[in-house]
């Protein structure tokens, strides 16, 4: 048997265990931490572009060999000396030449004055490919190397050279994309200030499984952060070892025409692109800009994007406040970021059967004291079938610096909500030493096909609730009709009196005061009616099957109990002394 040709873009190190690979990646981060990249928000973006260029080089080397084998031409995204193999890999022609130079920091000089400008401007070249545009956008915020010494930078390059898909045993070790997600998790931990861009992967995986996206559907996240929902959707749609991909056309659709997102943050946007590329999405269509205002920083990857989507999944920011510029684009005006995103989601779902999974804070569900909250939830219930709400524990997002209580909402556009099936996980204790795991959803998924009832699950008839609220509110509306009509009559009399007896100031004043009192009475009655009707839009999960552990004894009963127990203790002491 002929010897297998060794890939010159790889090396001899093999990673046979997950622990070994994780430890190796940690050793790279350790170098960066002692080299002016102390926190994850510093070293993850730095490692992102370095790791991306390494994997890009490996991928294009493989693609060039495959094209040559079948007699096809291959157009590389980068030219010499800007390929990883030229300037970064040990023994690369450009790197050897730089290291033999006499200047103080030859590699830094090349990277800052030639490499980075070249990579950032690739998208401006005539007939730039989609991949070249992605490369430019990933490099868009990289002005210079963060690490403070060239030696540390070269040490990192040498170690990253050893991180290769060819060197990872897939039967025992996570894919490189999952290793990268581990780095993103570090960035999302409390104290690193990146939690607003990171949703726990256990939550995402559960949501993707519920939404069940399929090849041929478009998937959209209007606030995609590091790209977690889109990346996990890709893995789910492809299946383990691409088991769900039935043809070359399926693969092309999945990699090129499926995933769309938007991200505002300049630091996170290139990380999202790199994350999606590492997962295998060759053309991630990510729009860089403010989703709510519509102001674009760069939309070159978003050309020909659809106006409506088959699947939307997202976790909007909690507690954000938007200005007038964002609110003008929406029917229901509010500064609450999450409510504007919810309106955006409803607007951009395909009208006939599109599905959504979204994370929303508890306030969205129970607040009925702001008109825009009620209007948005009414729109949701009228236009979509909100068929499931999962109440999450309060600590799920605490590792990311957000202790707010959250819920998972699932709905389908194109039919109104009749009933909501609730599932309650709120009593589960979650903390740093007790993380929330996917197994916590096992019973949920067991009950999901039939929406069965249990100690944790129940169903609320929304149609009946709204009708009952309307019935209870109607007497107040009817009561308001009389004072409202009387007030209108008095106002009309005042108008006539001003014409016929303009000097009768006393009568005019009396009638106006009476009209004002009647109007106030009518408004108070109408406000009561509105409060009753609005209360029907309090969608908070209140588990009717939860065990009541509250001690309902009166103070007298508690004192009697303590006295009785005191007597028992005294008797026990007396018996013990008698034994002596």
What 3-state class would DSSP assign to 393?
A: coil
From the candidate CATH numbers 3.10.580.10, 2.60.40.10, 3.40.50.10190, 1.20.1260.30, the one assigned to the domain spanning 18-173:
1.20.1260.30
pLDDT tens per residue across all 580 residues of the chain: 334 344 445 455 666 666 777 788 888 889 999 988 888 778 888 888 998 899 899 889 988 998 899 888 999 999 999 999 999 999 999 999 999 988 889 999 999 999 999 999 999 999 998 899 999 999 998 999 999 999 999 999 999 998 776 655 554 444 555 566 666 666 655 444 444 556 788 899 999 999 999 999 999 999 998 898 999 999 999 998 889 999 999 999 999 999 999 999 888 899 889 889 888 898 899 999 999 999 999 999 998 899 999 999 999 987 778 888 899 999 999 999 999 999 999 999 999 899 999 999 999 999 999 999 999 999 999 999 999 999 999 878 765 445 678 999 999 999 999 999 999 999 998 877 787 889 999 999 999 999 999 999 999 999 999 999 999 999 999 999 999 999 999 999 999 998 999 888 899 999 999 999 999 999 999 999 999 999 999 999 999 998 766 666 778 777 877 877 877 777 777 777 776 5
**If residue 368 lies in a helix (H) or strand (E), which one and from where to where?**
none
Please answer whether residues 332 and 379 qualify as being in contact, where contact means their C-beta atoms are separated by less than 8 angstroms: yes
What is the residue extent of each domain of the chain?
Answer: 18-173, 178-387, 468-535
Report CA torsion sign: 202, 141, 83, 125. Answer: positive
pLDDT value for 11:
54
Q: What is the pLDDT of residue 237?
A: 97
Is cis: bond before 81, omega within 30 of 0?
Answer: yes
Backbone phi and psi for residue 4, each to the nearest 5 degrees, phi listed first: -70, 130
Residue 580: predicted pLDDT? 56
Eight-class DSSP state of 318: S
Question: Which residue, 379, 316, 399, 307, is CA-closest to 349?
Answer: 307
* Residue 302 CA, distance from chain mean position: 20
Q: How far apart are CA 98 and CA 116, in angstroms?
A: 16
Burial class (CB in 10 A: 0-12, 13-18, 19+), 378: middle
Cβ distance 548 to 429 under 8 Å?
no
Q: Taking the mean position of all CA atoms in its chain, how far away is CA 479? A: 47
C-alpha to C-alpha distance for 491 and 508, rounded to whole angstroms: 9
* Confidence (pTM): 0.84
pLDDT at residue 6, rounded to an integer = 41
Sign of the dihedral defined by the CA atoms of residues 478, 483, 484, 486, in that order: positive
How far apart are alpha carbons 310 and 351 in whole angstroms? Answer: 9
Q: Which run of H or of E encompasses 422? A: strand 419-424
* Contact by Cβ (8 Å): 153, 107: yes
For 571, residues 6+ apart whose C-beta sits below 8 A from its C-beta are none
CA angle 14, 16, 20 (to 5 degrees): 90
* Domain covering 178-387: architecture: 3-Layer(aba) Sandwich (3.40)
Who's near 387: CB < 8 A, 6+ residues apart? 410, 411, 412, 417, 419, 420, 421, 451
DSSP string, 129-166: -HHHHHHHHHTTT--S--SS-HHHHHHHHHHHHT--GG
């Amino acid at each position: 048997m002929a010897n297998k040709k060794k890939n010159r873009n790889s090396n001899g190190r093999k990673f046979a265990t997950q622990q070994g690979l994780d430890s190796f990646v940690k050793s790279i981060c350790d170098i960066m931490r002692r080299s002016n990249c102390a926190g994850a928000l510093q070293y993850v973006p730095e490692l992102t572009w370095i790791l991306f260029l390494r994997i890009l080089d490996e991928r294009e080397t493989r693609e060039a060999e495959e094209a040559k084998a079948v007699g096809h031409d291959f157009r590389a995204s980068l030219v010499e000396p800007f390929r990883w193999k030229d300037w970064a890999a040990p023994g690369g022609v450009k790197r050897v030449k730089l290291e033999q130079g006499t200047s103080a920091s030859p590699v830094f000089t090349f990277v800052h004055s030639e490499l980075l400008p070249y990579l950032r401007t690739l998208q401006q070249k005539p007939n730039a490919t989609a991949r070249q545009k992605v490369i430019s956008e990933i490099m868009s915020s990289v002005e210079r190397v963060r690490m403070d010494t060239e030696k540390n930078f070269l040490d990192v390059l040498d170690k990253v050279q050893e991180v290769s898909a060819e060197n990872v045993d897939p039967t025992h070790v996570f894919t490189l994309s999952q290793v990268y997600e581990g780095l993103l998790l570090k960035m999302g931990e409390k104290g690193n200030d990146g939690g607003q861009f990171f949703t726990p992967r256990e939550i995402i995986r559960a949501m993707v499984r519920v939404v069940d996206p399929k090849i041929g559907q478009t998937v959209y996240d209007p606030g995609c952060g590091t790209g977690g929902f889109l990346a996990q959707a890709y893995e789910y749609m492809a299946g383990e070892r691409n088991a769900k991909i039935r043809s070359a056309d399926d693969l092309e659709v999945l990699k090129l025409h499926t995933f769309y997102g938007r991200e505002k943050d300049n630091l996170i946007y290139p990380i999202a692109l790199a994350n999606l590329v590492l997962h295998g999405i060759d053309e991630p269509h990510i729009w860089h800009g403010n989703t709510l205002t519509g102001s674009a920083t760069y939309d070159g990857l978003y050309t020909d994007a659809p106006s409506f989507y088959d699947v939307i999944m997202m976790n909007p920011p909690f507690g954000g406040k938007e200005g007038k510029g964002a609110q003008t684009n929406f029917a229901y005006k509010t500064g609450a970021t999450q409510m504007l995103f919810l309106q955006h989601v409803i607007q951009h779902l395909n009208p006939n059967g599109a599905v959504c999974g979204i994370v929303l804070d508890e306030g969205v569900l129970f607040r009925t004291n702001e008109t825009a909250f009620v209007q948005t939830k009414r729109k949701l219930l009228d236009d979509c079938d909100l068929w499931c709400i999962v109440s999450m524990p309060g600590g799920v997002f605490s590792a990311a610096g957000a202790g707010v209580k959250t819920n998972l909402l699932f709905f389908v556009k194109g039919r109104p909500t009749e009933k909501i099936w609730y599932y309650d996980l709120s009593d589960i204790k979650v903390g740093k030493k007790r993380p929330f795991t996917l197994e916590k959803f096992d019973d949920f998924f067991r009950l999901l096909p039939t929406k069965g009832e249990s100690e944790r699950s129940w169903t609320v008839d929304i149609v009946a609730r709204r009708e009952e609220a309307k019935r209870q509110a109607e007497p107040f509306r009817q009561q308001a009709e009389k004072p409202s009509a009387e007030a209108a009559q008095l106002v009309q009399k005042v108008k006539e009196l001003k014409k016929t007896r303009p000097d009768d100031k006393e009568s005019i004043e009396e009638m106006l005061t009476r009209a004002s009192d009647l109007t106030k009475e009518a408004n108070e009655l109408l406000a009561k009616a509105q409060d009753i009707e609005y209360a029907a839009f309090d969608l908070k999960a209140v588990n009717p099957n939860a065990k009541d552990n509250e001690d309902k004894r009166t103070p007298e009963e508690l004192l009697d109990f303590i006295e009785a127990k005191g007597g028992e203790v005294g008797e026990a002491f007396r018996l013990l002394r008698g034994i002596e």
